[in-house]
Amino acid sequence: MVLFLCPESIDLRDNTLLRYVTFGTDGDERTPEAKETFSVINPATENVICRLPDLNEDATLDAVQAVVKASRVVGSDLSPQDRSDILLAWKALMIENIEDLAKIITSENGKPLTEARAEVHYAANFLGWFAGEALRIEGSVPRPSDRANRVVVIRQPVGPVAVITPWNFPAAMITRKVGAAFAAGCGSVVKPAAETPLTAIAIAELARRAGVPNGALQIITTLKNTVQVGKVLTQHPDICKMSFTGSSSVGKLLATQCTSTMKRVSLELGGNAPFIVFDDADIETATKALIASKFRHSGQTCVCTNRAYVQSGIYDRLLQAVTNEVERFSLGNGMYSSTTHGPLISPAAVKKNEHFVRDAVNKGAKVSVGGRAATSLGSSFFEPTVLANVSPDALCAKEEIFGPILPLIRFDTEDQVIQLANDTKSGLAGYIATGDLARGWRLAEILNVGMVGVNAGSISDVASPFGGVKESGQGREGSVLGIDEYLEA
């Protein structure tokens, strides 16, 4: 089944990338069918890109059955070398099709093409990384207390995996999980976000072309049946592991559902990253890092700076520098090469950002640049915004903004800022800009987060363990640790 029966098509070199199939237990290809369908919307134009089947519990149960069988093929019939080779072929196919994949991402997610291309590279690199890890699944032979015995520890695939992913990184959040699962010897059923299912479909088609056995990667598209599908994926006794990326509230719910069958869980959840700029920071380095960290994907990244704490001595200069940078941004449809920042995912996200600005201004903040919905562009656009003199009590300092608002909060002492930065239930990322290396190291350990950037705003890398503490989640993805999430000793 080739999609695009719709008013707005994406101009692809290879339309068959969007061949959406599921698989039966014999690996037979099936056209996913459902009584109802849902629309995939381009947030920049508000046009319907296409309509997809809204699959239900029964379709999910079929997918689970098929993945259980296919997981045995992946874990037993394929050698680690086979899995590694397939992952490398899959990575190569992603790079070969980078322009098409980037257009699909930009169409359904809104991020500018340059960011979409960067995401395809990032996503493909996880496949390359785990191709290496597949070859290095090692056990151990510890000496037990009884001198006559030996203990042999082997590491085996955990079993079939359920994967539930968000819309903000529709490619990388899938490959970071499914690549690790496949390397370990597990098949996956993926439920992508209803906003961005086409990227998932294209990635699955490339997986098939690369040699991932039929049924070992199933995609379930749904909007209305999300809760019911989620229940099957989190409660089915044959699913051994659930890996989720998304909001902390949904993560807690799904983790609770998983306890009924004691599934292993990995949870990559929301953040509230502090970015601390000390007086001794190099102003150019701090500005560059802060802008990169805050405005990646217009602030819709879990590791984006949520609140910037700026020491009094550098405050005015930094405010001016970041305002100048933001004034240079070009907001628009991500398909245009001149666009530096695209729309938010939905009109609801714009309303939320308006609320954050209103609340901050009511509590004393001043809008230095932006601050409003960009309605002339469409209903999902919000102006990249810098807010000065923000109160530490403003909502935007307490809740995840997930939008292009940079709140600057003034502070005086290191002790004061540590207290402010750690006063949150989240603990995903944190950033420090300082010229004092000792202080950089000290704070990197004191900040209660999973990842810290020192004089750096881009911290995401396949080699570094990605994950949070507190209500930002459990487990680590990517890096040498990522595959452990899919192995049992």
Ligand X SMILES: NC(=O)c1ccc[n+]([C@@H]2O[C@H](COP(=O)([O-])OP(=O)(O)OC[C@H]3O[C@@H](n4cnc5c(N)ncnc54)[C@H](O)[C@@H]3O)[C@@H](O)[C@H]2O)c1
**Annotated catalytic, 268?**
yes
Sign of CA dihedral 272, 273, 278, 284: negative
Q: Using the rule CB under 6 A, which residue among 157, 274, 473, 482 binds ligand X?
A: 473
Q: Using the rule CB under 6 A, which residue among 38, 129, 167, 169 binds ligand SSN?
A: 169
Q: Is 303 a binder of ligand SSN (CB under 6 A)?
A: yes
Q: Which residues of 420-449 are buried (b: 16+ CB within 10 A; e: fewer)?
A: bbeebebbbbbbbbbeeeebbeebbeebbb
Q: Is 299 a binder of ligand X (CB under 6 A)?
A: no
For ligand X, which residue has the nearest CB?
230
460 binds, among ligand X, ligand SSN, none (CB under 5 to 8 A by kind): ligand SSN
Binding mask 410-429 for ligand X (x = CB under 6 A): ------------------x-
Q: Using the rule CB under 6 A, which residue among 64, 204, 242, 302 binds ligand SSN?
A: 302
Sign of CA dihedral 287, 292, 296, 300: negative
Burial class (CB in 10 A: 0-12, 13-18, 19+), 30: middle
As a residue count, the chain comes to 489
Burial class (CB in 10 A: 0-12, 13-18, 19+), 81: exposed
Candidates 138-146, 165-173, 208-216, 408-416; binding stretch for ligand X (CB under 6 A)? 165-173
CA atoms of 470 and 127, how far apart (whole Å): 28
Q: Is 70 a binder of ligand SSN (CB under 6 A)?
A: no
Query: Hey, which bits of 205-300 come out as E strands?
Result: 217-219, 241-245, 264-268, 273-277
Q: Is 301 a binder of ligand SSN (CB under 6 A)?
A: yes
271 binds, among ligand SSN, ligand X, none (CB under 5 to 8 A by kind): ligand X
CA atoms of 445 and 431, how far apart (whole Å): 12
CA atoms of 213 and 200, how far apart (whole Å): 17
365 binds, among ligand SSN, ligand X, none (CB under 5 to 8 A by kind): none
Nearest in space to 154 (alpha carbons), one of 185, 182, 127: 185
User: Based on CB atoms, which residue is closest to ligand X, 247 or 422?
Assistant: 247
Token pair for 113:
């093409």
User: Based on CB atoms, which residue is closest to ligand X, 76 or 458?
Assistant: 458
Catalytic-role residue among 119, 268, 325, 477: 268
Rounded to 5°, the CA angle 66-71-75 comes to 165
Neighbours of 141 (CB within 10 A): 8
Candidates 17-25, 266-274, 380-388, 452-460; binding stretch for ligand X (CB under 6 A)? 266-274
Q: Is 306 a binder of ligand SSN (CB under 6 A)?
A: no
User: Based on CB atoms, which residue is closest to ligand SSN, 225 or 472?
Assistant: 472
Q: Is 334 a binder of ligand X (CB under 6 A)?
A: no
Binding residues for ligand X, per CB under 6 A?
Answer: 164-169, 173, 191, 193-194, 226-227, 230, 245-247, 250, 253-254, 268-271, 302, 400, 402, 428, 468, 473
Catalytic residues: 268
Binding residues for ligand SSN, per CB under 6 A?
Answer: 168-169, 172, 301-303, 460, 466
